[in-house]
Amino acid sequence: MNEQLIQTITKLVVEKLKSNEVSQPSAGTADVQIKLHSKQATGALTELPPPENPNGKVTFHQTTSAKPEKKSAVHPQPAEKTISKQEEFIEELKKKTPSRIGVGRAGSRPKTNTWLQFRLDHAAAVDAVYGEVPDKILHQLDLFQVQTRVKDKEEYIRRPDLGRKLSDEAKELIKKRCAFSPSVQIVTSNGLSAKAIEENLEDVYLSLVQSLGNLGIETGTPFYVDKGRVALMDEIGDVLQPDVVVMLIGERPGLVSAESLSAYLCYQPRIGTIEADRMVVSNIHKGGIPPVEAGAYLGTLIQKILKYEASGVSLVKKEG
């Protein structure tokens, strides 16, 4: 079946469910907002309070031969007040996490709303991996594009090692077009989320460039790598010999956000650089660190890396 169609239908169903609820006076649950979920899930899903006398009321039967105990008079009697207290408490907890907590259940399964929302977020995550970065963005930011040794998305996922190497043409191209041995080399790549680049790259990049400009730090010629992996910066470091590489790359999408961007930084990455010398600022997206603020922060972080001539664990050690 057509993926697009499935998504459209799912969306329709979710919206339908929602519009039903709006017309229903559902006391107290109206302002549950799921803020961080991917954009497709438009707005808040609300939950129906259980009806007074549910038709399909579930009853439990004793299946063993033991005599069913007489219904004792001891009912759990949570007073009106304690229920609302509990609900309030759950609301408090919900505010503190984007995770799907306190969503209720129907029997042993999630409720339809929750399930559809989950499917939708999962679909968004898959789309982010298989999506492409629009050329317009690269054009606007004046980034030229190179390839890794990966042929297509399937190979990209199966062979991480190939995503860590530049194609021969790419090597030639960056040698030709990029300034040699700059203080800072900015590299961008879609990585596992094209959506992350589409949504956040412009803001992070412009803010980062401004920040470095303010600090008087010279930058090289930035470019974009299609289907790159983080450790690709080692080979780029070998070819261009910069002091610091900062790589803005789409994160593996999750169910909270499919458009989260990470900035990986390393002081003098070269082939053979160990992972402990890399550092990362992650979770850059609308619901996480605002992209513009992240760019501003990265500038001062790079300044620190240059000052201590170290990154990652080495930087922490040197900083003392």
Number of C-beta neighbours around residue 229 at 10 A: 22
Q: Are 156 and 217 in contact (CB under 8 A)?
A: no
Is residue 198 a known part of a binding site?
no
Contact mark string toward other proteins, 81..100, x via CB under 8 A: ----x--xx--x--------
Helix (H, G, I), strand (E, B) or coil at 312: helix
Candidate residues 46, 188, 211, 219; the one interacting with other proteins per rule CB under 8 A = 211
From the list 268, 246, 186, 255, the residue with the least C-alpha distance to 220 is 186
Does position 291 interact with other proteins (CB under 8 A)? The reply is: yes
Q: Is 210 in the site for other proteins (CB under 8 A)?
A: yes
* Contact criterion met (CB below 8 Å) for 47 and 104: yes
Nearest residue (CB) to other proteins, 31 versus 52: 31
In the complex with other proteins, the residue whose CB is nearer, 160 or 213, is 213
Q: Which helix (H) or strand (E) holds 245?
A: strand 244-250
Does the protein bind other proteins through residue 14 (CB under 8 A)? no
Q: Read off the tokens for 210.
A: 């401004």
- 16 Cβ contact list (under 8 Å, min separation 6): none
Pairing of strands 278-284, 261-267: antiparallel
Of residues 165 and 285, the one with the C-beta less far from other proteins:
285
Binding of other proteins by 142 (CB under 8 A): no
Q: Is 279 in the site for other proteins (CB under 8 A)?
A: yes
| Choice from 13, 32, 48, 296 touching other proteins (CB under 8 A) | 296
Bridge partners (DSSP) of residue 264 are 247, 280
Q: What is the DSSP letter of 263?
A: E
Please report, as residue ranges, which positions from 297 to 316 form the binding site for other proteins (by CB under 8 A): 297, 299-300, 316
251 is in an annotated binding site: yes
Among 289, 302, 305, 310, binds other proteins (CB under 8 A): 289
Does position 292 interact with other proteins (CB under 8 A)? The reply is yes
Interface stretch with other proteins, choices 38-46, 111-119, 240-248, 293-301 (CB under 8 A)? 293-301
220 versus 312: smaller Cβ distance to other proteins: 312
102 binds other proteins (CB under 8 A): no
Q: Is residue 277 involved in binding other proteins (CB under 8 A)?
A: no
Give, as one character, the DSSP assignment of residue 79.
-
Chain centroid offset of residue 92 CA: 24
239: closest CA among 258, 225, 256? Answer: 225
Q: Which stretch binds other proteins (CB under 8 A): 61-69, 159-167, 236-244, 288-296?
A: 288-296
Please pick, from the candidates 163, 191, 220, 295, the single residue that binds other proteins as defined by CB under 8 A.
295
Gap between the Cα atoms of 315 and 279, Å rounded: 9
DSSP 276: G
* Tokens coding 58: 């579930």
Residues of this chain that interact with other proteins (CB under 8 A) are 85, 88-89, 92, 202-203, 206-207, 210-211, 213-214, 262, 279-283, 286, 289-297, 299-300, 316, 319-320
- Annotated binding-site residues for adenosylcob(III)alamin read 230, 251
